[in-house]
């Protein structure tokens, strides 16, 4: 009762973008690749003016989480320009002009025996990162040599509005399941689990049919709550084990749906990570739907393809990612990087009035990390680092539930993020 994450049901708004199948938009004129994101910088492997092929490694991140980034089109590197990145900042990006030839540098090879090392190597060279949103290099998860008990595929997609994973499962079931098998080989794992929300009936039906006769992959049905897609929530539900750091502690490897599909492509065709599915949706879009796009494409043509904005759109948000954890953008001129799962255009609510906190305690009742946001807010405002430590402010995952449930519309999540930042800074200074 005290240490079980309950979650809370949130209206999904998912029906908007599921009626149409995924549409291909694979031939953009220009693609962009960021040269530095946050504290990660990328080494250029090409210069302005050089010709690149589709799938050629153009940037490489070094260090512990190193991975290459591959060009998603063939063409010429034309410039280094500042463009809007999903982090909400202008970032220097490599611009590649598409020659519309799609000359690929990768070829299909026939491997007689797929061993663990071969798969990890292929995944690393393909530059596959988690496509759920965090963008963690996938091969790093596979490196620990002890076998994982479970390979868990996170198909919960608990963020409202987004449907890219859901449609990917429906349309690419076979590749998805083959991908899971490859991940299982890479982790010497015997059990594969697809964790999906109970409410996604169509996808569950299709998966049940596809899994007929496959014994080592099973379905795990999650409640229709937020944050059911939180890695920790899924791992604890599936393995019944609790952990503090990485899921590996509980003997699990967790991957996103699209990551599994990308792994399948990388293993079978040596195809690097060059495309992904994004959802363009929201009440502000005329015809919401999902698109398969080259990584590095701008969202502007996709918005046009979706019929543009509804006519009476007044002040609105343009949200990159899901509405709970995403970020609002100033312009609709974003470059789709591998961590962008969707763009949501949503009218701004008429009133943003914040009332007095009446202390109802809904925030702490709903907190999946078992924190008490009101206490943390107080400690943050009084700059009490000791209290922040004792209140475990660093455990916050910024899922956004505290702000969501607040009846007074207090910006709890924002306070929590600031408190976490303050605590981390203070702890870093101490060291």
If one asks whether residue 169 binds other proteins (CB under 8 A), the answer comes out as no
If one asks whether residue 374 binds other proteins (CB under 8 A), the answer comes out as yes
If one asks whether residue 287 binds other proteins (CB under 8 A), the answer comes out as no
If one asks whether residue 113 binds other proteins (CB under 8 A), the answer comes out as no
Q: Are 401 and 227 in contact (CB under 8 A)?
A: yes
Query: How many whole angstroms separate alpha carbon 232 and alpha carbon 103?
Result: 41
If one asks whether residue 355 binds other proteins (CB under 8 A), the answer comes out as yes
If one asks whether residue 392 binds other proteins (CB under 8 A), the answer comes out as yes
> How many CB atoms are located within 10 Å of the residue 240 CB?
8
Site for other proteins in 52-71 (CB under 8 A): none
Q: 120-154 in b/e burial notation, b at 16+ Cβ within 10 A?
A: bebbbbbbbbbbbbebebbbbbbeeeeebbbbbbb
If one asks whether residue 44 binds other proteins (CB under 8 A), the answer comes out as no
Residues 6+ positions from 316 with CB-CB distance below 8 Å: 284, 309, 345, 346, 347, 348
Minimum distance, C-beta of residue 295 to other proteins, in the bound complex (Å): 22
Q: Are 92 and 82 in contact (CB under 8 A)?
A: yes
CA-to-CA separations, 411 to 374, 394, 415, in angstroms, rounded: 11, 18, 7
Choice from 61, 178, 181, 346 touching other proteins (CB under 8 A): 346
How does strand 252-256 pair with strand 275-281? Answer: unpaired
If one asks whether residue 390 binds other proteins (CB under 8 A), the answer comes out as yes
Choice from 49, 213, 245, 359 touching other proteins (CB under 8 A): 359
If one asks whether residue 90 binds other proteins (CB under 8 A), the answer comes out as no
Helical residues (DSSP H) of 162-295, grouped into ranges = 164-171, 173-186, 201-210, 231-239, 257-269
Name the segment binding other proteins (CB under 8 A); options: 57-65, 107-115, 194-202, 364-372: 364-372
Smaller CB separation from other proteins, 107 or 352: 352
If one asks whether residue 326 binds other proteins (CB under 8 A), the answer comes out as yes
Partners of 95 in beta bridges? 32, 79
DSSP state of 322: -
Minimum distance, C-beta of residue 172 to other proteins, in the bound complex (Å): 28
If one asks whether residue 46 binds other proteins (CB under 8 A), the answer comes out as no
If one asks whether residue 50 binds other proteins (CB under 8 A), the answer comes out as no
CA-to-CA separations, 199 to 14, 204, 224, 362, in angstroms, rounded: 11, 9, 6, 25
Choice from 44, 175, 241, 409 touching other proteins (CB under 8 A): 409
Minimum distance, C-beta of residue 86 to other proteins, in the bound complex (Å): 13
Q: 350-370 in b/e burial notation, b at 16+ Cβ within 10 A?
A: eeeeeeebeeeebbbebbbbe
If one asks whether residue 328 binds other proteins (CB under 8 A), the answer comes out as yes
Smaller CB separation from other proteins, 173 or 398: 398
Both tokens of residue 46?
Answer: 């090409």
If one asks whether residue 319 binds other proteins (CB under 8 A), the answer comes out as yes
Q: Nearest 5°: CA angle at 402, between 131 and 393?
A: 80
Choice from 31, 234, 316, 419 touching other proteins (CB under 8 A): 316
Residues 6+ positions from 300 with CB-CB distance below 8 Å: 332, 333
Name the segment binding other proteins (CB under 8 A); options: 95-103, 200-208, 261-269, 385-393: 385-393
> How many CB atoms are located within 10 Å of the residue 114 CB?
15
Smaller CB separation from other proteins, 41 or 355: 355
If one asks whether residue 317 binds other proteins (CB under 8 A), the answer comes out as yes
Query: How many whole angstroms separate alpha carbon 83 and alpha carbon 340?
Result: 15
If one asks whether residue 15 binds other proteins (CB under 8 A), the answer comes out as no
Choice from 344, 396, 397, 423 touching other proteins (CB under 8 A): 344
Positions touching other proteins (CB under 8 A) are 2-3, 5, 10-11, 160, 236, 242, 244, 300, 309, 315-319, 323-333, 344-346, 348-349, 352, 355-365, 369-372, 374-376, 390-392, 395, 400, 403-409, 411, 413-414
């Amino acid at each position: 009762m005290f240490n079980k994450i309950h979650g809370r049901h949130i209206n999904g708004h998912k029906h908007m973008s599921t009626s149409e199948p995924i549409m291909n938009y694979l031939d953009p004129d220009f693609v962009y690749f960021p040269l530095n994101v946050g504290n990660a910088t990328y080494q250029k492997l090409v210069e302005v003016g050089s010709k690149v092929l589709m799938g050629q490694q153009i940037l490489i991140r070094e260090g512990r989480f190193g991975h290459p980034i591959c060009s998603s089109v063939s063409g010429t590197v034309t410039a280094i320009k500042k463009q809007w990145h999903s982090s909400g900042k202008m970032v220097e990006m490599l611009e590649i002009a598409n020659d519309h030839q799609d000359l690929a540098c990768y070829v299909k090879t026939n491997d007689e025996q797929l061993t663990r090392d071969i798969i990890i190597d292929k995944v690393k060279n393909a530059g596959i990162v988690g496509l759920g949103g965090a963008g963690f290099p996938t091969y790093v998860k596979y490196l620990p040599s002890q076998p994982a008990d479970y390979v868990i595929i996170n198909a919960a997609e608990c963020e409202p509005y987004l449907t890219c994973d859901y449609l990917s499962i429906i349309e690419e079931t076979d590749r998805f399941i083959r991908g899971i098998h490859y991940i299982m080989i890479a982790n010497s794992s015997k059990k594969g689990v697809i964790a999906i929300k109970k409410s996604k009936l169509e996808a569950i039906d299709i998966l049940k049919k596809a899994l007929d006769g496959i014994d080592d992959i099973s379905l795990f049905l999650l409640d229709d709550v937020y944050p059911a897609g939180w890695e920790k929530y899924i791992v604890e539900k599936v393995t019944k084990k609790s952990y503090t750091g990485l899921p590996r502690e509980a003997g699990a490897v967790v991957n996103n749906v699209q990551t599994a599909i990308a792994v399948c492509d990388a293993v079978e065709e040596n195809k690097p990570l060059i495309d992904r599915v994004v959802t363009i949706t929201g009440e502000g879009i005329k015809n919401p739907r999902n698109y398969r796009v080259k990584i590095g494409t701008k969202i502007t043509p996709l918005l046009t393809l979706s019929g543009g904005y509804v006519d009476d759109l007044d002040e609105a948000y343009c949200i990159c990612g899901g509405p709970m954890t995403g970020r609002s953008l100033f312009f609709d001129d974003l470059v789709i990087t591998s961590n962008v799962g969707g763009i949501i255009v949503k009218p701004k609510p008429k009133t943003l009035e914040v009332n007095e906190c009446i202390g109802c305690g809904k925030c702490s009742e709903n907190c999946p990390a078992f924190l008490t946001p009101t206490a943390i807010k107080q400690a943050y405002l009084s700059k009490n680092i000791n209290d922040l430590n004792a209140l475990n402010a660093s455990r916050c995952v910024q899922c956004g539930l505290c702000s969501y449930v607040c009846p007074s519309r207090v910006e709890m999540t924002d306070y929590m993020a600031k408190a976490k930042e303050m605590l981390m800074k203070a702890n870093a200074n101490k060291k």
